[in-house]
Amino acid sequence: MKILVVGSGGREHAIAWRLAQDAEGHELYCAPGNAGTAAVAANLPLKADDTAGIVAWAKAERPDLVVVGPEAPLVAGLVDALSAAGIAAFGPVAAGARIEGSKRFAKEVMDAAGVPTGKAETFTDAAKAKAALPSFGLPVVIKADGLAAGKGVVVAETLAQAEQAIDDMLVGNRFGAAGAEVLVEEFLHGEECSILAVVDGERAVLLPSSQDHKRVFDGDKGPNTGGMGAYSPAPVVTDAMLPEIRDRIILPVLRELKRRGIVYRGVLYAGLMVNNANSNPRGPLAKSGSEVNVVEFNARFGDPETEAVLPRLGGSFAQLLLNAASGSLSEADLVVKDDVAATVIVASGGYPGDYEKGKEISGLAAAEPGAIVFHCGTKEADGKTLTSGGRVLSVTGLGATLREAVDRAYARIAGISFDKMFFRRDIAHRAFERESARQ
């Protein structure tokens, strides 16, 4: 097939890389891609948010499929524009992408569909939002309603922190239009995990579970980030839980969206909080009374979860995506290998705050058995590979066990260097702690 992948991060490199593994062979393009995607696809001088440019290229080149990676182009209607031009696209239309673009909308859909989730209220007035805080208790979660590049969520441990977060968003305009409306939300106890469901509007195929690490430092310390690592599968999700997640969470949302006139095709990413005998730590159940609650929905593949999940897939990845985009998805489209995967993010010093760009990266040409280096924020200049983002590389190790996968990822990182690089050294610590407790 002739396939265009839209985006420039580690997620898009992983998508392009996995498409390149398909036995049938594909003609691959990335818009705009990065230094890593250039090894498996032809990078195009088109930004991910250049809807007109991407549609014009697609009309001229007639790809069999366009895979849209980031959330912003989805919310902006890139799939709508491609569909109108007769181009098959993997990803939801703008009305469906609101499930990520508006947290208020997502809560409305969940409530209407009977999906278990935390209690929440929406506010545009700071004083009213602060007045509601006592009814939620502590900790409490403050969320910007719109897209805020993964930085619009504050878990407040004190009343002062919650009030400051509300002021930052509603008074200080910290996130612009994305923070013009905020959600005050019940804090959910338990252990987080991610489920990526490939859906075709009616049917859903659940990819292997994963768990990411949001905090920037070891021991889950420091501010939240876009993700510092992930591993798959997540032990907190048992095989017995997957049908429940599909039937109680994913499919009801698809039906509710369809009731509203929205045929949702692409990825429906469910960020879940598990609070049962298999989770650690545990606390009081959410007000929903369910042991599995939705923290958030995203309208695309997660990052860095994608880098841990996709290397575990066999079969034809392109056919899986095309069948979802065309409304003909089948469980038979999904093939999962026995490998376990662990992904470690290598970041620029200062991330998620201010950081420098343009640092030369060395060691990328080396090879480590069972390890893959995905590029998140890189660019080529004068024959050198330079840093161009906060999250620079996503290094994935594969193995028969989680320990083997983690060790392979860190062994590969040991051969990579750039000025002020850093990474967490405790990826998958919850899984290892669980193993130790059982011994």
Please give the pLDDT value at position 276: 84
Task: Report domain extents, the chain.
Answer: 2-91, 125-180, 191-336, 340-438
Report pLDDT for 438: 73
Q: Is the bond into 63 cis (omega within 30 degrees of 0)?
A: no
Is 282 a residue whose pLDDT tops 80?
no
Percent of the chain with pLDDT over 90: 90
pLDDT value of residue 104: 96
Q: Is the pLDDT of residue 383 over 80?
A: yes
Q: Which of 248, 250, 255 is nearest to 269 (CA)?
A: 250
What confidence category does residue 361 fall into, taking pLDDT thresholds of 50, 70 and 90?
A: very high
Q: Would the pLDDT of 439 be above 70?
A: no
The pLDDT, as a whole number, for residue 62 is 98
| pLDDT, mean of residues 124-140 | 96
Q: Are 54 and 46 contacting, i.e. CB atoms less than 8 angstroms apart?
A: yes
Residue 136 pLDDT greater than 90, yes or no: yes
- Averaged pLDDT for residues 346-356: 96
The secondary element (H helix, E strand) that includes residue 104 is: helix 103-113
Identify the architecture of domain 125-180 in CATH.
2-Layer Sandwich (3.30)
167 in Cβ contact with 123 (< 8 Å): no
User: Domain 2-91 falls in which CATH fold?
Assistant: Rossmann fold (3.40.50)
**pLDDT at 399 > cutoff 90:** yes
Q: What integer best gives the mean pLDDT of the chain?
A: 95
| pLDDT at res. 279 | 82
pLDDT at 65 over 90: yes
Q: Could you give the 3-state DSSP secondary structure of residue 43?
A: strand
pLDDT for the residue 159: 96
Q: What is the pLDDT of residues 206-230, one digit of tens each?
A: 999 999 999 999 999 998 898 999 9
Residue located via tokens 């499930």? 99
Please indicate whether residue 279 or residue 41 has the higher confidence score (pLDDT).
41
Q: How far is CA 143 from CA 51, 59, 172, in A?
A: 28, 39, 14
CATH 3.90.600.10, applies to 340-438 = yes
- Equal fold, 2-91 vs 125-180: no
Least confident among 71-80, 119-128, 143-152, 411-420: 143-152
Task: Tell me what percent of the residues of the chain surpass a pLDDT of 70.
Answer: 100
Q: Per-residue confidence at 280, pLDDT binned at 50, 70, 90?
A: confident
Q: What is the pLDDT of residue 392?
A: 98
User: Counting beta carbons within 10 angstroms of the beta carbon of residue 224, is it exposed (0 to 12), middle (13 to 18) or buried (19 or more)?
Assistant: middle
Q: Tell me if the bond preceding 92 is cis, omega within 30° of 0.
A: no
> At the fourth CATH level, which superfamily is domain 191-336?
ATP-grasp fold, B domain (3.30.470.20)
Q: What is the mean pLDDT of residues 373-391?
A: 97
Structure tokens, 382: 């004068």
At 277 the pLDDT is: 80
Using CA atoms, how far apart are residues 392 and 86, in angstroms rounded to an integer?
35
Q: Is the dihedral of CA 429, 434, 437, 439 positive or negative?
A: negative
For 28-44, the pLDDT digits (tens) are: 999 999 999 999 999 99
Collapsing DSSP states into helix, strand and coil, what is residue 122? strand
Which residues sit opposite 336 in a β-bridge? 313
Which region holds residue 130: left if phi is over 0, alpha if psi is between -120 and 50, else beta?
alpha
Residue 63: closest CA among 400, 318, 364: 318
The two three-digit tokens of residue 180, written as one number? 């013009």
- Contact between residue 73 and residue 48 where contact means Cβ atoms under 8 Å apart: yes
Q: Cα angle at 21 between 229 and 404, to 5 degrees?
A: 40
Kindly report the number of other CB atoms within 10 A of residue 231's CB atom.
31
Specify the pLDDT at position 436. Answer: 78
